[in-house]
Structure 1
Amino acid sequence: MQKVFIAGATGYLGRYLCAEYRRRGWHVTALVRNRARAGDLAADTLVEAEATRPDEIAGVMEGGELVVSALGITRQADGLGYRDVDYGANLILLREAERAGVQRFAYVHVLNAKAMRHVPLVAAKADFVDVLLASSLPSTVIAPSGYFSDMEAFLAMARSGRVWLFGSGAPRINPIHGADLAFAIAEATEGGRGWLDIGGPDVLTQSGIARLAFSALGREPRITCLPDALRKAALTVLPWVTPRRVHGPAQFFLTAMALDMVGETHGNRSLADHFSGLAAVEQVRTEQGRRT
């Protein structure tokens, strides 16, 4: 049985990766920070360790063929930053994979990284990719456009009554569901693909996503497009007036909002169905709350 080591296993994508590789018959070893929080993770073996500590990672990949890392942080906590995790921890994993004789190292990057390399979150990822590509170890780099979970911010705004956008709302994106992305990653690693810029099946404008959110809620669209100068001003001001855990992800999302984030289309799950499902669940909870 082939063995895969998955880092970032308890994150949004990581859980889908564990389930997908296990479905394909791989022995899944999942790296977790806290075993008690792994819950129903679809893994055969749990390794409880801190990826930022080389001594805790030593030996954990022995006998494995593949490492897949979705390891990274969105909101910086525990005193760790992007350089510590997105770059440093992944570098530790890569060096251990090289030492253990792993056959391939796959890494989940971000689409349009070259255009966003000035953003600290992206710079840390891009710097690691540079090291990975220079390694003698065969690699697969997967660069997603965005996750369905990221798009839930549109649904939250629509639920509050109005969606706020910057500029024209015309930049396009084809976000992808975690299960579809996990399937594509497994296909890419098993097929030996080197690089994959990837998105979901539907290419949508930002204003189009806003309309999908209102439609799922059964409401008339209320969309306000703010001058793009405000987005640029926020990028300048946020690092001075907010903590790093706030302005770090905000810099990434505000920068990405000005770009077309469209990758090679994959999968069959639609964002419209995802929004409708979330809205239906919320409606059931609301009705149950009224009865109690």
Structure 2
Amino acid sequence: MQSILIAGATGYLGRFLCAAYRARGHHVTALVRDRARAGDLDADTLVEAEATRPDTLSGVMDGIDLVVSALGITRQADGLSYRDVDYGANLNLLQAAERAGVGRFGYVHVLHAAAMRDVPLVSAKADFVDALQASRVASTIIAPSGYFSDMGEFLSMARTGRIWLFGTGEARINPIHGADLAEAVVEATEAGRAWLDVGGPEVFTQVEIAQMAFAALDRPVRITRLPDASRKAALAVLPWVTPRKIHGPAQFFLTALAIDMVGQTHGTRRLSEHFQALTRAAAHDRAPEGER
């Protein structure tokens, strides 16, 4: 049994990571900002600390064998930037791990980061990966293609009656469910792998995902393809006309849409079943209380 510390434990992936490591019999310490808001987190120990404040990390890594960080921000909050969290906070964790003699540091990155280095979110992550690989602590870097939770945007558009795609819509992706990704992270760190590009078990074009979203809603397929030039124009304009919390994630998604995001296939959970589950949950929420 190893002692594992999970950073970003209360996020979408972090909760799956805690459960996956505990299921393998490891002792899991979850790093949380607020113990009261951790909810039903599947961890042996909760430790309150602010990774952006290195003074709060004193002693947190003592006795830890492995740190796994899924820490990062998708939408900026609390006045913090990607540079503050995706780079700075993770660097604070790495330096604490070095001082404590932690054996390995696992980090959840993003697939094809080199092709997106000019995107602030990706740049911050990539700069941390550079620091991690230069560290004396052994590292495992996991680069997922995209999450099922991100694919919910297709379902949201389908509910409006139309899905808008840029270009041909033929760029491919094999998104992965958080539980399957957590299992891949566990396997990679236990095997001592240096790097893993990973995705889900099925590869789709964007058009195929759009069709799947309409099928889950039992609605006719209505897809409009916009010229790719409009995607590039949006990338140029958004930083000037929207706040950081809007254009930050938009820059990442608009850039990734033009790239084949296909990692090594892993897991068993299917995107069609995920869409169907989301559709059932939405129908349940809309039903009168007596009919639920």
Which interval holds the TM-score relative to the shorter structure? over 0.9
Q: Distance in 2 between matches of 1:291 and 1:186?
A: 41
Q: What TM-score, normalized to structure 1?
A: 0.98
List aligned pairs for 1:105-120, cutoff 5 A: 105-120=105-120
* C-alpha distance in structure 1 between counterparts of 2:113 and 2:184, whole Å: 20
Q: Residues 78-121 of structure 1, C-alpha deviation per residue, up to 9 Å, x if partnerless?
A: 11101110000000000110111111000000001000000000
Q: How far 1:280 sits from its partner (Å)?
A: 1.4
Q: Any idea what SS the aligned residue of 2:252 has?
A: helix
The residue that corresponds to 1:128 in the other structure is: 128
Q: How does 1:15-30 map to 2 (within 5 A)?
A: 15-30=15-30
Deviation at 1:291, TM superposition (A): 5.2
Separation of aligned partners in 2, 1:243 and 1:200: 32
Deviation at 1:289, TM superposition (A): 5.4
Task: State the one-letter code of the partner of 1:52.
Answer: T
What is the SS of the residue equivalent to 1:4?
A: strand
Output the amino acid matched with 1:231: R
1:232 aligns with 2:232: yes
| 1:77 counterpart letter in structure 2 | A
Matched AA of 1:56: T
Q: Deviations over 1:139-164 (max 9, x none)?
A: 00000000000000000110111111
State yes or no: 1:37 paired with 2:8: no
Q: CA deviation at 1:20?
A: 0.4
Correspondence 1:12 to 2:12? yes
Describe the SS at the equivalent of 2:17.
Answer: helix
Find the aligned partners of 1:48 and 1:38 in 2 and give their Cα distance.
10
Q: Distance in 1 between matches of 2:85 and 2:281?
A: 34
- Please, what is the CA RMSD of the aligned residues? 1.1
1:75 and 2:81 correspond: no
Q: Deviations over 1:157-177 (max 9, x none)?
A: 101111111111100000000
Give ranges in structure 1 of 5+ residues lacking alignment.
none
Q: How many equivalent residue pairs?
A: 292
Secondary structure of the residue that 2:64 maps to in structure 1?
Answer: coil
In 1, the alpha carbon distance for the partners of 2:75 and 2:105 equals 25
**Shift of residue 48 of structure 1?**
1.1
Name 2:156's counterpart in structure 1.
156
> Counterparts of 1:202 and 1:39 in 2: how far apart (Å)?
32
CA distance in structure 1 between the aligned counterparts of 2:94 and 2:59, rounded to whole angstroms: 12
In 1: Cα distance, 2:120 partner to 2:181 partner: 24
**CA displacement, residues 21-67 of structure 1 (integer Å, 9 cap, x when unaligned):** 01111111001111111000001111111101111011101011000
Match of 1:56 in 2: 56
- Output one character per residue of 1:190-216: Cα deviation in whole Å (capped at 9) or x when no partner: 011110000000000001000010001
Distance 1:173 1:289 in 2: 38
In the alignment, the residues of structure 1 paired with residue 91 and residue 285 of structure 2 have an alpha-carbon distance, to the nearest angstrom, of 44
**Displacement, 1:283?**
1.8
Question: Quick one: which amino acid aligns to residue 234 of structure 2?
Answer: A
Superposed displacement of residue 136, structure 1:
1.2
1:179 and 2:179 are equivalent in the alignment: yes
Alignment match, 2:95: 95
What is the CA-CA distance between 1:290 and the residue it aligns to? Answer: 8.4
Shift in CA distance, 127/287, structure 1 to aligned 2, threshold 3 Å: same
Specify the alignment match of 2:266 in structure 1. Answer: 266
Q: C-alpha separation between the residues in 2 aligned to 1:286 and 1:253?
A: 30
SS of alignment partner, residue 233 of structure 1: helix
1:205 is aligned with what amino acid?
A: T
Residue 278 of structure 1 corresponds to: 278
Which residue number corresponds to residue 242 of structure 1?
A: 242
Alignment match, 2:147? 147
SS in structure 1 of the partner of residue 140 of structure 2: strand
Mapped to 1, the partners of 2:289 and 2:165 lie a distance apart of 32
Q: Which amino acid aligns with 1:175?
A: P
Amino acid in the other structure paired with 1:119: V
Identify the residue that residue 167 of structure 2 maps to in structure 1: 167
* Equivalent position of 2:194 in the other structure: 194
Structure 2: 5+ residue runs without aligned partners? Answer: none
| One-letter amino acid of the counterpart of residue 20, structure 2 | E
What residue in structure 2 maps to residue 206 of structure 1? 206
TM-score w.r.t. the length of structure 2 is: 0.98
Distance in 2 separating the partners of 1:266 and 1:272: 16
Counterpart in 2 of 1:138?
A: 138
CA distance in 1, matches of 2:122, 2:86: 9
